[in-house]
Amino acid sequence: MAYENLLINDEDGILVVTINREKALNALNTQTMLELGRFFTEDALQRENVKGVILTGAGEKAFVAGADIKEFLGLDATKGQEMAQRGQDVFFAIERFPKPVIALVNGFALGGGCELSMACHMRIATENARFGQPEVNLGIIPGYGGTQRLIQYIGKSKAIELLLTGDMIKADEALRLGLVNYVLPAEEAMGKAKELIGKTATKGPIAIAKVIESVNAYFQHDEDGFAREVSEFGYTTGTEDFKEGAQAFIEKRPADFKGE
């Protein structure tokens, strides 16, 4: 599939997706959101032997510096709700992707960029990364899940402070608060992301997908996360992967998972 604003590189099953709008600090315009949605709901699911996805931004200044504010000028209440819903649908597709998705945050992750990073399963920040939800500076609120996911990661007290003040935090504070998994020099970040995906790729692929589903269920108001865990545990015990994994453990050898 052809993309205008995304660069897709398949590196031995690790899909490195770069938002390629460097002059605009990789801002999320409508075209970019459409392409992200198409990638995660169609393209990536149809590719064979995918181990995971690393999502990053072009250049050294920004992961994603926010939404494209120029597109906001024609909004009214109805159009604003429609935009927010479309954005949430795309980010839910990322959050529910059955393989690990890692945000490599290589600079500013503000507004929609912070929300995009939080929709990923893990976040690795370079030392120059900055996070924030500055929407109140424009007289609006986050619309792509920021008021919900930020609380999940760092708790209500600090999250509401950042949401109400619009303040940015540096990478080291994001790590301390639990928003990111690692902070590394820029030259080491991609290697760490690939290392993590490589490690998960040695595990049972069905189990990986079911862990993602079960963790997500905890945060869904219409689901009982514990009940989902019981259901998915039962499902995985009926797979060939489980038989192989258990036998490999007994025989003290690496498991050869088939995703069956």
CB atoms within 10 A of CB 167: 12
pLDDT at 36: 98
Q: Give residue 225's pLDDT.
A: 81
Which amino acids are annotated catalytic?
A: 115, 135
pLDDT per position as a tens digit, 51-103:
999 999 999 999 999 988 888 888 899 999 999 999 999 999 999 999 999 99
**What's the whole-model pTM score?**
0.92
**Of all helices (H) and strands (E), which one includes residue 74?**
none
Identify the pLDDT of residue 223: 80
Backbone dihedral angles phi then psi of residue 203, each to the nearest 5 degrees: -95, 175
Low-confidence ranges of the chain (pLDDT < 70): none
- Helix boundaries (H) for 63-204: 77-95, 112-119, 146-154, 156-165, 171-177, 186-200
Three-class secondary structure of residue 79 per DSSP:
helix
DSSP assigned state of 6? E
The angle at the Cα of 26, spanning 21 to 30, to the nearest 5 degrees, equals 85
Instruction: Say how far apart CA 198 and CA 130 lie, in whole Å.
Output: 27
